[in-house]
């Protein structure tokens, strides 16, 4: 037992010291917990290194020990992974829904769903007309008859087709996850790509569009290695239709914050 | 022969399904499946069967490499234990061979039910592979596998070389299967593309070879080869642990203690290469499409990688703890010493590597110019330095270094689910953020590998200078062997899920979209639950197979082994 208390004591002291250092350096609490946990794991490792050998087991005793060990392993794996921060799939579902919207509609399944929706709509219209006819037949006006549901669709369609180009542009920025590499409005970016707050001053909308469609067409100053490696994926012309790409370029073109040092694009 | 016919029957089923899929079903209307698997949903149903199949396949492709190495060692050292180990693992492999075929057939069925249109078009893309090459190689492997087992007792003595050659031939076919089937697998992640041509247009003119030899094909194959060797070794170690626990005689205990030791060291050989081939695979995938990189390391899958870091850290701790327990039962181990350069290099390696990697990031050869002399110095210059340290002290220092390296290996940029919307208060502050970068991770893994190599050298030195008491190892070592097999299986499941999820909302990246409602990244918690369940089912089947294959022979062996207990280690 002396071995256990001694090693555990050392583990706690080392862990405490690590937490103190991490705290003084303003490391987030989660990292302080990480360092403390590693110190405790260290204590357990050193307890095991100097522990007395376990006596050999056989028969039911060994079966019980193995079963208990398996239960421990399974519990630790499932519970351990659940303790870490969890990505919320709902965030992604909405994005993927938008990205695949057109393809889903074009698929046979999508077309079938659209036909079913139309049939339902027509069915509702027929029912509404029947109600009105019944009302006319009995000499009563059916004031409560539901308005034709067709009115909903033009409104939605108008919103989709003639909607704000800026809104579409910003949506594409989110959907294509440009923020993973580019910083904009102080958000996103990991220095993989240039900060874009002043891109509207340096490039025209057409040039931005050209850069998105063909990433090799321009090189940001100071990003020679990234340009040579082709870090910016050459896939956006296949993922966005021309209207979406134009919307993204137009939206980016509005960013003219000269206080941000967006590197100068060089034509290639 | 029953096993042979079972395996062949399953193969015929797989083949007919492939042919049916590529002909009749191809005429189906496009759209998502009308089948909905209860409870799991379609994607998870495919995941379960696919992962089970891959685990069995990894074992039957990896075990023959492991087995032939063991048989060759037995022949070279004239040590019958290696031969017995090889034969016993071959018996288990033969049973699991049938399981591979059965789960393979099931995989195709489930895939066709869940994603009929994609499966059909996919089989059509690789018709030559699925309908001709793969079945032909599988039949060849079946014939060679059974021939290898049934000629074991016939081709011995002077004919042993012939038997080993047959094993090598079996391995060549296994490797061919691995390379062939990795073509379609890697194609789904990195289909070939060309500058200025849309993926669809390029695919219209691409040859079968273009599709197979895609960017991640070779690195994936390399990673799977060393992974399969390690996997086979860890599972053999677990089988040894169970057999040790069930052993009735001292001789049996001595043999299975030795089997655990031999299996783990072959597994370690594969494990040491794995981080590097894994990095090569990740590098090639990021080079193909850089958006894979943030998706893996910083965004949706970042906590999957955090978990991988924890598990790999535990795996290395487990390996080295096993070697510590092995050293403890060697009489005279306390007298073994090593040059003081070894602990010095152990202590300075991590910070020096981090500095070098920061200045000369690979593939800059200058990084090697610093690191090679440093890591080789204890082995090359050690004899000129008279000061020495005891082996046990060096191993303990190694454990401290390993814990520090583990901490670096699993320090993320921030403990958040996605890096894209990480608040500043969750981030590592400036000056510390280097710990979360790739150079720091690579330094940590290099150090973990180096500590394991030093421990291996020390262990060998201890074996040469001391006397091993086979069968007298601390009973805790058997639990370590079980732990290593489970951890290795779990990591395979996790990284398999990561590789598959990298396709994002596509079946084949950028070519065929997954229009089902399940094309999103699942949570780590959900994934870990299934990975654990699949691992447990797989290991339970392997355990049953081992007990069926080995218990009768173990009970028959009652006469003492040739190697006495205790023995002077050679």
Locate the chain B residue with the closest alpha carbon to A57.
B245
pLDDT at residue B30 tops 60:
no
Q: Chain A closest CA to B357's CA: distance in Å?
A: 17
- Distance between CA atoms of residues B56 and B537, nearest Å: 11
What is the average pLDDT across B245-253?
A: 90
CA quadruple A54, A57, A60, A63: dihedral, nearest 10 = 60
Q: Among residues 247-266 of chain B, which lie with CB inside 8 Å of chain A?
A: 253
What does the pLDDT look like over A158-193, one tens digit per residue?
Answer: 344 445 889 999 999 988 888 888 989 888 776 788
Radius of gyration in angstroms for the set of CA atoms belonging to chain A, rounded to a whole number: 31
How many CB pairs below 8 A link A and B? 189
Residue B197: pLDDT band (50, 70, 90) is confident
Query: Which residues is B468 bridged to in the sheet?
Result: B330, B567
pLDDT at B2 over 80: no
CB burial string B191-224: b at 16+ within 10 A, e below: bbbeeeeebeebbeebeeebbbebbbbbbbbbbb
A200-205: long-range pairs with CB below 8 Å, 24+: A200/A252, A200/A253, A200/A254, A200/A255, A200/A256, A201/A256, A201/A258, A201/A262, A202/A262, A202/A264, A202/A265, A203/A253, A203/A265, A204/A253, A205/A246, A205/A249, A205/A250, A205/A253
In whole angstroms, what is the distance from residue B35 CA to residue A59 CA? 47
Q: Touching check for B35 and chain A: CB below 8 Å?
A: no
Give the least confident one: A7-16, B26-35, B48-57, B489-498. B26-35
Task: Give the 3-state secondary structure of residue B430.
Answer: coil
Mean pLDDT value of segment B79-102: 92
At residue B4, does pLDDT exceed 80? Answer: no
Q: What are phi and psi of B126, to 5 degrees?
A: -120, 40
Please identify among residues 200-219 of chain A the ones whose CB lies closer than 8 Å to any CB of chain B: none
Predicted confidence (pLDDT) at residue B297 exceeds the cutoff of 80: yes
What 3-state DSSP class applies to A238?
Answer: helix
Distance CA B119, CA B139 (A): 23
User: How much is the pLDDT for B128?
Assistant: 93
Confirm or reject contact between B165 and chain A (CB < 8 A): no
- B254 CB-near residues (< 8 Å, 6+ apart): B470, B471, B561, B563, B565
**B29 interaction partners in chain A (CB closer than 8 Å):** 108
- Domain spans of chain A, in order of start: 1-52, 100-160, 165-267
Q: What is the mean pLDDT of residues B9-21?
A: 44
Question: What is the full DSSP assignment across B346-388?
Answer: HHHHHHHHHHHHHHS-TT-HHHHHHHHHHHHHHHHTGGG---E
Q: Do B515 and A100 touch (CB under 8 A)?
A: yes
pLDDT of amino acid B561: 44
Mean pLDDT (chain A) is 84
Which fold, A165-267?
Cytochrome Bc1 Complex; Chain D, domain 2 (1.10.760)
This prediction has a pTM of 0.85
Q: How far apart are CA B243 and CA B250, in angstroms?
A: 12
**3-class SS of residue B566:** coil
| Contact A229/B at CB under 8 A | yes
pLDDT tens-digit profile of B374-416?
A: 999 998 998 888 899 999 899 999 999 999 999 999 899 888 8
Residues of B in contact with A64 (CB under 8 A): none
A24 interfaces chain B, CB cutoff of 8 Å: no
Position of tokens 């200058």? B366
| Inter-residue contact A149 to A117 (CB < 8 Å) | no
Two structure tokens written together for A157: 């369609």
Please state, for a pLDDT cut of 70, what percent of chain B lies above it: 91
Q: What mean pLDDT is predicted for residues A71-89?
A: 93
> Which residues of chain A does B525 touch, with a Cβ-Cβ cutoff of 8 Å?
78, 81-82, 86
Radius of gyration of chain B (CA): 25
Q: Which of B415, B470, B504 to mutate to test the interface with A (most CBs of A within 10 A)?
A: B415
The arithmetic mean of pLDDT across residues A246-250, rounded, is 94
Task: Note the residue count of chain A.
Answer: 268
Least Cα distance to B68 among B173, B151, B148 occurs for B148
State the smallest CA–CA distance between residue A81 and chain B in angstroms.
6
Q: What is the pLDDT of residue B102?
A: 93
């Amino acid at each position: 037992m002396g071995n256990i208390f001694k090693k555990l004591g050392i583990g706690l002291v080392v862990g405490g010291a690590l937490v103190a250092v991490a705290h003084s350096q303003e490391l987030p609490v989660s990292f302080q917990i990480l360092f403390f946990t590693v110190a405790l794991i260290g204590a357990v490792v050193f307890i095991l290194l100097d522990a007395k050998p376990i006596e050999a087991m056989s028969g039911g005793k060994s079966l019980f020990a193995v079963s208990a060990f398996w239960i421990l392993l399974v519990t630790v794996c499932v519970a351990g992974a659940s303790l870490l921060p969890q990505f919320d799939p709902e965030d992604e579902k909405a994005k993927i829904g938008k990205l695949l919207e057109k393809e889903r509609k074009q698929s046979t399944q999508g077309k079938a769903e659209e036909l079913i929706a139309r049939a339902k709509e027509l069915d509702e219209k027929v029912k509404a007309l029947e109600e009105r006819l019944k009302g006319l037949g009995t000499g009563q006006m059916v004031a409560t008859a539901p308005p034709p549901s067709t009115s909903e669709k033009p409104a939605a369609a108008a919103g989709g087709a003639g909607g704000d180009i800026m809104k579409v542009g910003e949506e594409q920025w989110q959907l294509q996850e440009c923020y993973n590499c580019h910083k904009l409005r102080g958000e996103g970016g990991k220095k993989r790509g240039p900060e874009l707050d002043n891109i509207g001053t340096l490039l025209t909308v057409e040039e931005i569009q050209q850069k998105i469609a063909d990433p090799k067409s321009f090189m940001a100053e100071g990003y020679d290695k990234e340009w040579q490696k082709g870090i910016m994926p050459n896939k956006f012309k296949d993922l966005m239709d021309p209207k979406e790409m134009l919307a993204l370029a137009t939206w980016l073109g509005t960013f003219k914050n000269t206080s941000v040092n967006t590197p100068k694009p060089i034509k290639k | 022969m029953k096993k042979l016919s079972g395996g062949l029957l399953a193969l015929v089923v797989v083949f007919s399904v492939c042919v049916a899929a590529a002909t009749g079903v191809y005429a189906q209307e496009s759209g998502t499946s009308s089948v909905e698997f209860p409870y799991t949903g379609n994607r998870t149903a495919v995941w379960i069967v696919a992962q089970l199949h891959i685990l069995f396949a990894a074992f039957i492709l990896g075990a023959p490499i492991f087995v032939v190495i063991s048989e060759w060692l037995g022949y070279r050292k004239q040590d019958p234990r290696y031969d017995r180990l090889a034969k016993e693992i071959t018996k288990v492999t033969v049973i699991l061979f049938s399981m591979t075929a059965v789960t393979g057939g099931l995989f195709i069925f489930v895939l066709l039910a869940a994603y009929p249109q994609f499966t059909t078009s996919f089989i059509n893309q690789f018709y030559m592979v699925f309908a001709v090459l793969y079945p032909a190689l599988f039949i060849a492997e079946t014939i060679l596998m059974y021939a290898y087992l049934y000629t074991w007792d016939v081709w011995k003595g002077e004919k042993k070389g012939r038997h080993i050659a047959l094993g090598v031939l079996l391995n060549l076919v296994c490797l061919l299967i691995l390379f062939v089937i990795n073509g379609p697998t890697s194609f789904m992640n990195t289909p070939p593309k060309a500058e200025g041509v849309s993926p669809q247009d390029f695919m219209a003119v691409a040859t079968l070879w273009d599709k197979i030899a895609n960017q991640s094909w070779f690195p994936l194959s390399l990673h799977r080869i060393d992974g399969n060797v390690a996997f086979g070794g860890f599972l053999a170690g677990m089988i040894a642990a169970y057999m040790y626990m069930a052993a009735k005689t001292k001789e049996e205990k001595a043999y299975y203690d030795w089997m655990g030791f031999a299996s783990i060291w072959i597994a370690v050989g594969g494990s040491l290469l794995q981080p590097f081939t894994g990095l090569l695979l990740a590098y090639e995938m990021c080079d193909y499409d850089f958006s894979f990189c943030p998706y893996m390391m910083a965004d949706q899958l970042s906590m999957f990688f955090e978990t991988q870091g924890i598990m790999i850290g535990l795996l290395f701790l487990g390996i080295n703890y096993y070697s510590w327990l092995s050293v403890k039962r060697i009489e005279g181990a306390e007298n073994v010493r090593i040059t003081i350069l070894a602990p010095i290099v152990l202590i300075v390696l991590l910070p020096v590597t981090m500095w070098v990697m920061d200045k000369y990031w690979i593939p800059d050869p200058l990084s090697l110019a610093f690191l090679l002399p440093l890591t080789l110095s204890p082995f090359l210059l050690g004899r000129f330095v008279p000061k020495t340290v005891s082996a046990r002290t060096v191993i303990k220092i190694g454990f401290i270094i390993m814990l520090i390296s583990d901490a670096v290996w699993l320090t993320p940029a921030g403990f958040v689910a996605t890096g894209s919307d990480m608040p500043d208060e969750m981030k590592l502050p400036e000056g510390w953020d280097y710990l979360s970068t790739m150079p720091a991770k690579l330094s940590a893994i290099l150090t973990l590998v180096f500590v394991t190599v030093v421990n291996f050298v020390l262990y060998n030195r201890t074996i040469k200078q001391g006397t091993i008491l086979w069968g007298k190892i601390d009973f805790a070592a058997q639990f370590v062997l079980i732990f290593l097999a489970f951890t290795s299986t779990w990591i395979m499941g996790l990284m398999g899920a990561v590789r598959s999820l990298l396709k994002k909302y596509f079946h084949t990246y950028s070519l065929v979209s997954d229009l089902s409602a399940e094309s999103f990244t699942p949570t780590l918690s959900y994934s870990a639950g299934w990975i654990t369940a699949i691992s447990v089912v797989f290991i339970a089947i392997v355990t049953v197979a081992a007990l069926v294959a080995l218990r009768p022979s173990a009970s028959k062996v009652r006469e003492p082994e040739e190697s006495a207990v205790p023995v002077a280690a050679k």
